[in-house]
């Protein structure tokens, strides 16, 4: 199974769970949502064999907001992201030291099931690849189906909700039985986002989700990220600094496996504290 298929399979709940609906959480029920920490990364190092890809990273990723990870190619962005839903474990020879707490709980604790983690933490990949043999609707529902959800009314409802959340419903509602691969590149990426959302993860990880998209499709995905952040924690890797500036509240700058600087996006771009961050955001290296 590909990593992507594995991620979809793992992210499938065994039974329908109530979906967090837009606007359904009253302000009183989540008074300090903005201040909550989604991931508390403590002294994280990640190795591929003898290569150290992530070096002693400490980072607290806030819940219910968008965090961008930026940095030059090969600096460890994807590796760091994949550690957050234990996908890096699928790479032979990969190992880590240090700790990641997710909402206070040790993500790699002895009693924590990686498949449950991947259910709670969804992933959207750089290259959209809908399952080629599946229709638009079956691409969205594949995770639920793999885990035996059969209730037709529930599946139909989840299908529409997920496609609406990913801003694709109006474009595909009359052609749900067409192959997922018949859609444009930008639509396919939104289809993959709908697929990730269909199992209602708590957190959405996105690894350069727009790198293969044209500017119009990119704008749609960015609007979608904006809309999601009231309900979701989103962590997005991007090599596009304008994109990081547009979509995120906080930005982490990585360089050669180290976290160089983390802070409010505006500060990272307008007033970085570290000279390496300054050099990178001003385009002097990269």
Ligand X SMILES: Nc1ncnc2c1ncn2[C@@H]1O[C@H](COP(=O)(O)OP(=O)(O)O)[C@@H](O)[C@H]1O
Residues that bind Mg ion (CB under 5 A): 78
Q: With CB cut-offs between 5 and 8 Å by kind, which of Mg ion, ligand X, none does residue 91 bind?
A: ligand X
Q: How far is the CB of 242 from Mg ion (least distance, A)?
A: 18
Q: For residue 235, state whether it binds ligand X (rule: CB under 6 A).
A: no
- In this chain, which stretch among 66-74, 193-201, 215-223, 273-281 interacts with ligand X, using CB under 6 A? 66-74
Q: With CB cut-offs between 5 and 8 Å by kind, which of Mg ion, ligand X, none does residue 272 bind?
A: none
Residue of 219, 186, 218, 190 whose CA lies nearest to 204: 190
Q: Which are the contacts of 284, defined by CB distance < 8 A and separation ≥ 6?
A: none
Q: 267: which 2 tokens? A: 């500060």
Residue of 113, 121, 134, 124 whose CA lies nearest to 166: 124
Q: 136: which 2 tokens? A: 């638009």
Site for ligand X in 86-125 (CB under 6 A): 91
Owner of token pair 């496996």? 257
Site for ligand X in 71-90 (CB under 6 A): 71, 73-79
Taking every pair of C-alpha atoms in the chain, what is the biggest distance, in angstroms? 56
Q: How far is the CB of 190 from ligand X (least distance, A)?
A: 22
- In this chain, which stretch among 18-26, 32-40, 69-77, 188-196 interacts with ligand X, using CB under 6 A? 69-77
Q: With CB cut-offs between 5 and 8 Å by kind, which of Mg ion, ligand X, none does residue 108 bind?
A: none
- The length of the chain is 286
Owner of token pair 């809309």? 227
Q: For residue 53, state whether it binds ligand X (rule: CB under 6 A).
A: yes
**Smaller CB distance to ligand X: residue 133 or 242?**
242
Distance CA 39, CA 36 (A): 9
């Amino acid at each position: 199974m590909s990593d992507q298929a594995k991620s979809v399979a793992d992210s499938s709940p065994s039974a329908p769970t109530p979906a967090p609906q837009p606007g359904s959480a009253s302000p009183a029920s989540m008074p300090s949502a903005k201040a909550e920490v989604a991931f508390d990364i403590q002294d994280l190092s990640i190795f591929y064999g003898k290569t150290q890809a992530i070096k002693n990273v400490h980072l607290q990723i806030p819940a219910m907001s968008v965090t961008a990870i930026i940095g030059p190619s090969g600096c460890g962005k994807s590796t760091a992201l994949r550690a957050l839903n234990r996908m890096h474990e699928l790479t032979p020879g990969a190992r880590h030291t240090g700790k990641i707490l997710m909402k206070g709980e040790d993500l790699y604790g002895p009693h924590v099931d990686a498949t449950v983690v991947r259910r709670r933490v969804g992933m959207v990949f750089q290259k959209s690849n809908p399952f080629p043999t599946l229709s638009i609707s079956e691409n969205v529902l594949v995770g639920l189906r793999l885990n035996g959800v059969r209730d037709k009314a529930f599946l139909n409802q989840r299908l529409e909700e997920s496609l609406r959340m990913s801003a694709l419903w109006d474009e595909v509602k009359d052609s749900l039985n067409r192959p997922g691969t018949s859609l444009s590149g930008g639509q396919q990426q939104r289809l993959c986002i709908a697929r990730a959302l269909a199992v209602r993860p708590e957190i959405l990880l996105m690894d350069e989700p727009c790198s293969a998209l044209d500017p119009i499709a990119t704008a749609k995905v960015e609007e979608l990220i904006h809309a999601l952040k009231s309900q979701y924690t989103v962590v997005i890797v991007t090599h596009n600094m304008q994109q990081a500036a547009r979509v995120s509240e906080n930005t982490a700058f990585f360089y050669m496996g180290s976290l160089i600087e983390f802070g409010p996006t505006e500060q990272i771009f307008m007033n970085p504290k570290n000279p390496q961050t300054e050099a990178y955001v001003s385009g002097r290296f990269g």
